[in-house]
Structure formats: structure tokens, C-alpha cells
Amino acid sequence: MNTKTKRKTDPALAQARREQVLCAAADCFKRKGYHGAGMAEISRTAGMSAGHIYNYFASKEAIIESIIERDMEELFSVFQEFEDQPGNLVTILLNGLDSGVERHIDVDQGALDLEMQSEAARNEKVARLLRKSDLQAREKMRSLLVGERSPIKAAKAAEIDSRIEVMFALMNGLLMRKILNPSIDKELLLIAVRPAMKTLITPFD
């Protein structure tokens, strides 16, 4: 009664169904891994028949690709926040560490990231998507580091690149630490993360 609401396919329903599948799949992948989770389990989790999923996704691969794309957008927004904040860059980034570390040691989301990373080593399509996402993140970071507010804006391009790589490596590596040593927590990590990151965003020597 509210709108036209009747004739033809309802795109809102379709979108809802896609989300349903995406969430269910992400959940299954976290628990069982991409290869370990079958369409049967995903469909059960999503509350719809396996066959029906194929009305929304062309293949199991298409599902993980969609998950990656969804995550990409989220990642992007994190970096946008840094850019939008006023004031001293070092302060901004170091302040961001708190939530950054927290986000990176979330094993639940991390398990999925790891899974995608593993898949990328063997699946070119997945690799391409992940790299695209990563490229955007690096560019965002570079624009911060060479910006007016940056204490290292004068550094050579290679040095900037290296700093970015190592910052990212450090943060991403935290996930593995949490998996291998579940007893660590954010506060403990920050003790050393902060000085290390500071080194990475201020001039060497």
C-alpha cells in the first residue's frame, strides 16, 4: 500500500538476500575456512536452499569476492577518518593506534582475512581484489605522509614506501601474534607498538 510494492522483482529483497548469504558465508568461512565450508553449510546458515544462493551469486568464488569488496569499503572509511582529522599528523596516527590495534587483533574478523590472504596465494581473482584494496590503502597513507602536516614529507619516495609497508606489516602481523599467543592484549602490545610506529612516522636518526 505504501509504494508501488508489487509488480516485478523487489530489488530490496534481493539485496537483503545477498546480505544474508554474505553474512552466512563470512561466518562459515571464519569457522571452517573457504575450502572447509561447503555450500550446504552456508545455505543452512543463511536459511535458504543451496540452489537458491545461485540466484544471487554465480559461484562460491563470487561469494568470497563479494565479501572482499564489502570489507574493502570498510577499510577505506578507516583511512578517510585520519585524513579528515585536524592537527598534528604524528598525534593523529598515534592516537589512532589504540583502536587500530584493537581492530587488528580481532581474531574473528582476522580469521577471515587470513583465509582470504591464503586464498589469494592460489587464486588470482581474489589476489587482484585484495591488491586493489591494499593499493588504495597505501595511497591514502602515502598522501598523509607526504602531506603538509607530515614530519617526513621531505623523505624520498622509496623511504616513504618502505615506511608504509613496514607500518602495514606491523599492524597486520599483530593478528598472527594474537592467534599464536592469545594471551596478549591491546595494552601490552601498545607498549612497543607506539614507539615503533613513532619511529616509522618521524625522521630516522
Partner DNA sequence: CATGAATGAGTTTTCATTCAT
Partner DNA sequence: TATGAATGAAAACTCATTCAT
The total number of residues written for the chain in this structure? 205
Q: Which does 31 bind (CB under 5 to 8 A by kind): DNA, its own copies, none?
A: its own copies
Q: Which does 4 bind (CB under 5 to 8 A by kind): its own copies, DNA, none?
A: none
R_g (Cα) of the chain, nearest Å: 20
Of 21, 94, 12, residue with least CA distance to 60: 21
Residue 15 binds to DNA (criterion: CB under 7 A)? no
Residue 52 binds to DNA (criterion: CB under 7 A)? yes
CA–CA separation, 26 and 30 (whole Å): 6
Residue 51 binds to DNA (criterion: CB under 7 A)? yes
Residue 13 binds to DNA (criterion: CB under 7 A)? yes
Q: Which of 32, 44, 60, 125 binds its own copies (CB under 8 A)?
A: 32
Q: Which does 195 bind (CB under 5 to 8 A by kind): its own copies, DNA, none?
A: its own copies
Q: Which does 157 bind (CB under 5 to 8 A by kind): its own copies, DNA, none?
A: none
Of 102, 94, 161, residue with least CA distance to 134: 161
What is the three-class DSSP state of 150? coil
Q: Which of 25, 37, 116, 197 binds DNA (CB under 7 A)?
A: 37
The dihedral over CA atoms of 75, 168, 121, 57, expressed in degrees to the nearest 10, equals 0
Cβ contact 141:200 at 8 Å: no
What is the three-class DSSP state of 196? helix
Rounded to 10°, the helix 89-104/186-201 angle is 140
Q: Which does 33 bind (CB under 5 to 8 A by kind): DNA, its own copies, none?
A: its own copies
Instruction: State the binding string over 80-109 for its own copies (x if CB under 8 A, else -).
Output: ---------------------------x--
C-alpha grid cell for residue 109?
574478523
Binding-site ranges for its own copies (CB under 8 A): 30-33, 35-36, 107, 110-111, 114-115, 117-122, 127, 130-131, 134-135, 138, 158-159, 161-163, 165-174, 176-177, 179-181, 184, 188-193, 195-196, 198-200, 204-205
